Amino acid sequence: MGFRRQLAQTRPAVTTAVQAWQPTFFGQYYITLIHIVNTGAVDCKVSVFHDQDGATYTKDTALMYEYILEPGGIVQIESNEGIGDYDDVGTIGVQCDVSDAANFTIYGELVEENTDQESFL
């Protein structure tokens, strides 16, 4: 069993959905916490997406969609069991309707490393 650590952090400069995290190598990851803070001066809408086998960021892959976050506001997505990501093409995407307003930090752990890449293909 791994230990929880920061896996990624981003503050998107664009208002379209962007990839925030993708596994760096084969293995079983658990995303245990996604922490979002509005560092801007106005309300913003934030969205978080999880696509298990690609990078499609729509309502179909949304974990949180257009949540209104006031200036200085914080929202978290937390899971004791984690969001499993078993494939090297699975991703977490994020979006904010105001450029440079929301900071997204993703925490999790690598539960099991798999050096046999064939089993994931």
Q: For each successive 10 residues of the chain (121 residues), what is the average pLDDT?
A: 83 97 79 96 97 90 97 94 68 97 93 56 38
d(CA 40, CA 36): 12
d(CA 49, CA 21): 11
Residue 115 counted as domain residue: no
CATH of the domain at 12: 2.60.120.260
Domain of 80?
Answer: 5-109
- Domain count across the chain: 1
3-class DSSP state for residue 94?
strand
Residue 32 counted as domain residue: yes
pLDDT the model gives residue 18: 97
